[in-house]
Structure 1
Amino acid sequence: MNKPHDGQPDLRRLDLQRLADDAAELEGRTPLTDLDRLTADAAPAGDGAVRWSLAFERRSVAGGRADPWLHLDAQATVRLTCQRCLQPVDEVIGVQRSFRFVADEAEAERLDGAADDEDVLALPPRGRLDLLPLLEDELILALPLVPMHEACPEPLPHPADELDEAPAAHPFAALAALKQQKP
């Protein structure tokens, strides 16, 4: 059975091998302001935090070795600009991903191309994983391409409404009238 891990860990120095050996489960919250690249495009909204949970395991593969795996589940609310009405819109973004860690970059590249549904990463130096860049990358990828309200808060002008208005005066109409008045 998986063992819960006590306290909030240092997400910048997770001991990936030990956590996988312990089949640890972690959960917590991280302020969105800790994720500079994400907040450059999306302002914090809601409670201003990313809620995340991590589950680690060792899974056997062909050849008898057991690789460490990380299962990531994260959710946050960010404020974007609606592309229809240009007003702020709060979007809930979420991530559910699993990552397999292997010995080095060469093996990760070889396996990532061959694996259908696996995301394969190289083990970090000394087995210490900095989770924040990985978490931030995944949340950035989860941002909507075109954020929009389901129903914009203010009615949008319709092109048909603009046609109902009186046509604009021709800029040279006044000159033509003056020419016609000359004796």
Structure 2
Amino acid sequence: MGVSDPYIDTYELTRLGQRLEGRVPLRRFARLLEGLPAQGDAQADWSLRGEQDALGRRFLHLHVAAGIVLECQRCLSPFVWPLDASSTLEVVASAAQLDDGGGDEGAEPVERIVASRRLDVLALVEDELILAVPYVPKHEQCPDAPKPSGDGAASAAPDSSLGRPSPFAALGRLKKN
């Protein structure tokens, strides 16, 4: 089931166990994009499923996937970060229940939201995207960085900019001993 209206009734969605899904351009999420590089035509795919368990507790299961352009904090070049995030939210009747410990002993803690007849699904999707973006994004291996060698020869090589051995080469030898 797709969604044309971005608002849902959390009670109905959870009571009926409905599933909603969609695709939305990242440019729609102003809070997410603040301070990020241009995203082009990037899209986010999302799904939201409601559930009511045997004890009458209500849950929303949210999944979001997108390729977000970030700036590597090592080399400062843009790269696409594959984002795939899921969360479960317990729907509670009042704000007083938000901080209530509740739940089963030993059960994994679940975030809670107050039930609403008009919850903005896309705001929920944007929140999940924001929480999933790494605080310090970086490549696994920057494209312009020298490839690490397994023999340790690079640590003993002279500092090419100064023509003398690196002071860290001596530390590397000490660490091996």
The TM-score by the shorter chain falls in which range?
A: 0.7 to 0.9
Q: Which residue of 2 aligns with 1:49?
A: 43
Give secondary structure in 2 for the equivalent of 1:162: coil
> How many pairs align?
152
Q: After the TM superposition, which segments of 4 or more aligned residues of structure 1 sit over 6 Å from their partners? A: 112-115
Within a 5 Å distance, the mapping from 1:155-170 to structure 2 comes to 155=145, 160-164=159-163
Q: Which residue of 2 aligns with 1:123?
A: 115
> Is contact 1:44-1:78 (8 Å) kept?
no
Q: Which residue of 1 aligns with 2:18?
A: 24
Q: Deviation at 1:161?
A: 2.2
Q: Deviation at 1:15?
A: 1.7
Q: Deviation at 1:24?
A: 0.8
Q: Which residue of 1 aligns with 2:4?
A: 9
Q: Which residue of 2 aligns with 1:101?
A: 91
Q: Deviation at 1:75?
A: 0.8
> Is contact 2:64-2:128 (8 Å) kept?
no
Task: Flag the 1:71–1:77 CA change in 2: closer, same or farther, 3 A.
Answer: same
Give secondary structure in 2 for the equivalent of 1:163: coil
Provide the C-alpha distance between the structure 2 equivalents of 1:110 and 1:14, rounded to a whole number of angstroms.
Answer: 25
Task: Flag the 1:122–1:106 CA change in 2: closer, same or farther, 3 A.
Answer: same
> Is contact 1:45-1:77 (8 Å) kept?
no
Please report the RMSD computed on the Cα atoms of aligned residues, expressed in angstroms: 2.5
> Is contact 2:85-2:132 (8 Å) kept?
yes
Q: Deviation at 1:33?
A: 1.2
- 2:137 counterpart letter in structure 1: P
Q: Deviation at 1:9?
A: 3.4
TM-score, reference length from structure 1? 0.72
Q: Deviation at 1:56?
A: 0.8
Task: Flag the 1:44–1:58 CA change in 2: closer, same or farther, 3 A.
Answer: farther
TM-score, reference length from structure 2? 0.74
Q: Which residue of 1 aligns with 2:173?
A: none
Provide the C-alpha distance between the structure 2 equivalents of 1:27 and 1:46, rounded to a whole number of angstroms.
Answer: 22
* Percent of aligned pairs sharing the same letter: 36
Provide the C-alpha distance between the structure 1 equivalents of 2:48 and 2:108, rounded to a whole number of angstroms.
Answer: 22
Q: Deviation at 1:142?
A: 0.9
Name stretches of at least 5 consecutive residues in structure 1 with no aligned partner.
166-183
